Amino acid sequence: MPFTPDELEYYASQNLGRLATVAPDGQPQANPVSFRVNTETGTIDIGGHNLTASKKFRNVTKHDQVAFVVDDLISTQPWNVRGIEVRGRAEALTDAQPPHPYFGTAMIRIHPKRIITWGLGGDAAQRGRDV
């Protein structure tokens, strides 16, 4: 499992993330997405209705490098943010078992290669590690 207990706890408290993909022409695209951490595979699974018709799904079929960010703002006085960025390889699945009723059978599965966190756990400093 590439995620720490603090990261898993944080993911469980969040509902949306942002997925950045690369289009065939090299242009970046970022979208809000629903997700779940798949503890069996150690991946982030992105889902939703009619996912195969989306540009992000088509992008992943052509270029498998992605970034996924979940973050939030705890307060502005003082400024207090926390979050996780995962960089890795994604695969576009068309016959996945949906983990939630709002996921269809299509899914984008992210295999982490680098995880960067900030504001999580006892140490609020930014930390990054290769997995």
Which tens digit of pLDDT belongs to each residue from 12-40? 999 999 999 999 999 999 999 999 999 99
Q: Is the pTM higher than 0.85? A: yes
The domain ranges of the chain are: 5-130
Dist CA 101 CA 103 (whole Å):
6
Tell which CATH classification among 3.20.20.70, 2.30.110.10, 2.40.30.10, 3.50.50.60 matches the domain 5-130: 2.30.110.10
List Cβ neighbours of 54 (8 Å cut-off, separation of 6 or more).
31, 48
Contact predicate 23/34, CB 8 Å? no
Cα→Cα distances 114→21, 69, 79, Å? 16, 12, 26
- Please tell me the predicted confidence (pLDDT) of residue 77: 95
